Each structure stands twice: as C-alpha cells, then as structure tokens.
Structure 1
Amino acid sequence: MGVEMAAGEDISIRRKRLRYRAWHRGTKEMDLILGPFADANIEAYDTAELDRLEALMDEEDPPLLKWVMRQEEPPTHVDRAFLDLVIADHQARIAK
C-alpha cells in the first residue's frame, strides 16, 4: 500500500508537472505561449481549472498554435473560453 499524499501536496505536484509541460511542448512557439501563461496563472488554479489547462495542452502543437494565432477556428470539443484566456494572455505579452 502506497503512501497517500495530502490534497495540497497532490495539487502542488500537478501544478509543477503542468508548468513543466507548458514550457516543454516540442515547439518553441508553444513553449513561449503556454509557458508564461502557466507561470502567471497556475498557482491560483484549482483542480477544475487545472483540468481545463491540461485538456488544452493535450492538443497537438500545430493546430493549437493556429488557434492561438487566430488562423483557424478550433473544433467544437475545445474549451473556447479557456483558449480565449490563453489568447488574451499571449496578445498582452506581445503588445508590451
């Protein structure tokens, strides 16, 4: 029987794992979009918001980049409201 972690430790580990994934996507463009987004938001996210981030990060980089750059509309299964948060964050960073 394994040692069970407290809920706070579990979510802390999940945040670290998702932050790492955000910065190590496979394409530099998505690293530079999702990495800063995760850094700015992930500590405040609860389990439901982490689920939304993880679902978005499960998408492949090429279409995800096209959605963020507004070159293509995302398919209906994509959480558009959460994607819009990522897009707004990215646009605010490039506007500086």
Structure 2
Amino acid sequence: MRARLVYQSRKRGTLESDLLLSTFAREWLGGMEEAELREYDKLLDEPDWDIYYWATKKRAPPERWANSSVLEKLVVHARNEGKAVRRMPDLN
C-alpha cells in the first residue's frame, strides 16, 4: 500500500501537486498507521488543485476533510517552516 501511495503522490499531473505530495509521502508515510494510510489514500482521490489549495490554506477544505489528521500533517509540510529546498524524490 505504501509503495502505491508513494507512486500516486508522485504522478499527480501538476508539478505543484507532484512536488508537494511526493515530498510529503517521502517524509510522512513511513510513520503512518494503517488508518492514516487509508485516509491519505482517500485524500489522493480528490482533484490536485483542491488538495494543493487546502494544504496551502488558500481555500478551506470541505467538511469531510475539516478534521483530518492527514490533511493537517500536509498543511504543516506545505508551510515548510524549516525552509528546506525541496525537489522530487528519487525513484527507488
């Protein structure tokens, strides 16, 4: 499941989403419990731009995602408070 989610995070269709989600997957998926992995899997079913705007706080997420721990982790990741230079992770 993790391998599929990593792949789906990387191959979204928009460069912005690819970069945000692939770096998120690299940093966070390894420590997620099964319930969070399933939640992330459902989040990836949403349109790219919606996920991007929710993660960057440009738009409020719909009620179904309002209390999502995974989306909150993605918001923290998108803030990039450490000012890390991010690039697409290598394929392994």
User: If the TM-score is normalised by the length of the shorter chain, which range does it land in?
Assistant: 0.7 to 0.9
Q: Which residue of 1 aligns with 2:3?
A: 16
Q: CA deviation at 1:85?
A: 0.6
Give the aligned length. Answer: 83
Q: Which residue of 2 aligns with 1:83?
A: 71
Runs of 4 or more, structure 1, over 3 Å off, are none
AA at the equivalent of 2:79:
Q
Give 1 or 2 for the bigger CA radius of gyration.
1
Alignment partner of 1:54 is 2:78:
no
Match in the other structure for 2:52: 65
Q: 1:53 to 1:40 in 2, by over 3 A?
A: same
Relative contact order (C-alpha < 8 Å, sep 6+): which is higher? 2
Equivalents in 2 of 1:85, 1:95: separation in Å?
Answer: 16
Unaligned runs of 5+ residues in structure 1 are: 1-13
Same amino acid, percent of matched pairs = 29
Cα contact 2:55–2:74 (8 A) shared by 1: yes
Give the residue type in structure 2 aligned to 1:56. L
Render the CA deviation track for 1:24-44: whole Å, top value 9, x for unaligned.
011110111110111112122
Kept in 1, the 8 Å contact 2:17–2:48? The answer is: yes
- Read off the aligned partner of 1:54 and give its amino acid letter: D
- Structure 2 unaligned segments of length 5 or more: list them: 85-92
